[in-house]
Amino acid sequence: MNKKEVLQGVIMGFLATVIGVFMASIFLGKLSGRSDSILEVLETAQFEGFLGKLISLGAILNLICFFYFIRKRQDSRAAGILAATILIALGTFLIRL
């Protein structure tokens, strides 16, 4: 297992989660009918206690990345994506406490 590729997978996993959180925030902002910005949605999520759920929604993109790398037979990068997903799951668990 190549450590460089695992690290690339971890970075891509975190990046995919950030992109997913922004996409979910944009969707929720448009869905609210008030045209909330991304920062307003994130502040509301933190204030109302659903920030962990929003991060979990953003982590769905990791699933797509994981299966893409498995299909391309890049197992080291897929392992990095999996490691990032586990770390994000632990982080959202700690947020909910």
Taking only the tens place, the pLDDT of each residue in 73-94 is 999 999 999 999 999 999 888 8
Q: Do residues 70 and 62 make contact, with C-beta atoms less than 8 angstroms apart?
A: no
Predicted TM-score (pTM) of this structure: 0.85
pLDDT tens figures, 10-20: 999 999 999 99
Res 33 pLDDT > 80: no
Model pLDDT, residue 9:
93
pLDDT tens figures, 48-69: 888 888 888 888 999 999 999 9
Please report, for residues 2, 19, 36, 55, 97, the alpha-carbon distance to residue 61 in angstroms, rounded to integers and kept in the order given: 23, 8, 23, 11, 24
Q: How far is it, in rounded angstroms, from Cα 81 to Cα 62?
A: 7
Find, among 47, 72, 60, 64, the residue nearest to 17 by Cα.
60
